[in-house]
Amino acid sequence: MKRFGLKYLYLLPAMLVLMLVTIYPLVHVVALSLHRKLLIFDISRFVGFANFEFMLGDSRFWTALGNTAYFTLVSVALELAIGLGIALLLNRSFKGRGLMRSVVLLPWAIPTVVSAKMWEWIYNADYGVLNYLLNIDINWLGSPAWALNAAVLMDVWKTTPFVAILLLAALQDIPDDLYRAARVDGAGTLKILQRITLPMILPMIWVVVIFRTLDAFRVFDAVYVLTGGGPAGSSETLSIYAYNLLFQTLQFGYGSAVALSVFICVGLITLVLIRAMRRSEW
């Protein structure tokens, strides 16, 4: 009994730190979301769920939510497809394979802000290298039709190596005997991929999808540095919208409600993906 209590005593410092850095701020945000708090006009009063009612009719909120969903779906889908292709290539035996595995990780190792500034120069409409190589004239970051897609491309370039390395680790756990037996039975490359490779790495694919979906839905720094949410809000995500409300216009009440909506969406996405993962295992 004493040992049982001692275990919880050892965990107490970690639990206190967790409460200070996670639970307390979350409770404070929830409390702020129930108030109309404007520092500029020194307004602070309890309004209940009025901020959430206003949010449901806020067209800018729904635009930001749509941008966030689009960014998440497209970037995760591309990263999974390209990452799987890279992982399959790196899983083959060839000269310099170890070096290539290290080189592939370079984009992921670069800090997000640095990557965003680098891509900002690449996208420059006047002297960017992308327009020069493609021999076209597109204002990538200044056009509402291209800004969000430019941010997606930058995120795919940076995060695909992370996906590839995780999938490569799963591929290396597949016994070679399975591939040999499949080839003896006359199975082709596509059949082996469909019947052996994908089912064997499916658990890792779900891990990648869950982690990358949650990370992409909360995207802030990459898009903020690259476009600032513009032009005309065409690339503004929920995190950027919440930041602008909280720190640009100092609407702490409504800004907290929008920030809380990000938390709620992430929680719902997590539940849906975990449930889908469990069903696929059945």
Strand partners for 45 = 36
- pLDDT surpassing 70 at residue 4: no
* 53: pLDDT strictly greater than 90: yes
Summary mean pLDDT of the chain: 87
Q: What's the rounded Cα separation, in Å, for the pair 197 and 175?
A: 10
CA 115 from centre of chain:
15
CB-CB contact of 233 with 250 (8 Å): no
Choose between 147 and 44: higher pLDDT.
147
Cα 69 to the center of its chain, rounded Å? 10
DSSP string covering 138-167, please?
--TTT-TTTHHHHHHHHHHHHHHHHHHHHH
Residue 199 banded pLDDT, cuts 50, 70, 90: confident
Written in H, E and C, the secondary structure of 98-143 is HHHHHHHCHHHHCCHHHHHHHHHHHCCCCCCHHHHHHCCCCCCCCC
What are the pLDDT digits (tens) for 85-130? 999 888 887 787 778 877 888 888 888 999 999 999 999 888 889 9
Q: Which residue from 129, 144, 146 is spatially nearest to 234, judged by alpha carbons?
A: 144
Residue spans of the domains in the chain: they are 50-281
pLDDT digits (tens, 9 = 90+) for 242-259: 999 988 888 899 999 999
Please tell me the chain's helix, strand, coil percentages from 3-state DSSP, rounded to the nearest 5.
75, 5, 20
**50-281 is classed CATH 1.20.1440.230:** no
Per-residue pLDDT of 153-192, as tens digits, reads 999 999 999 999 999 989 888 888 888 888 887 778 788 8
Q: How much is the pLDDT for 282?
A: 54
> 218: helix, coil or strand?
coil
> What is the pLDDT, as a whole number, of residue 184?
81
In this prediction the pTM is 0.88
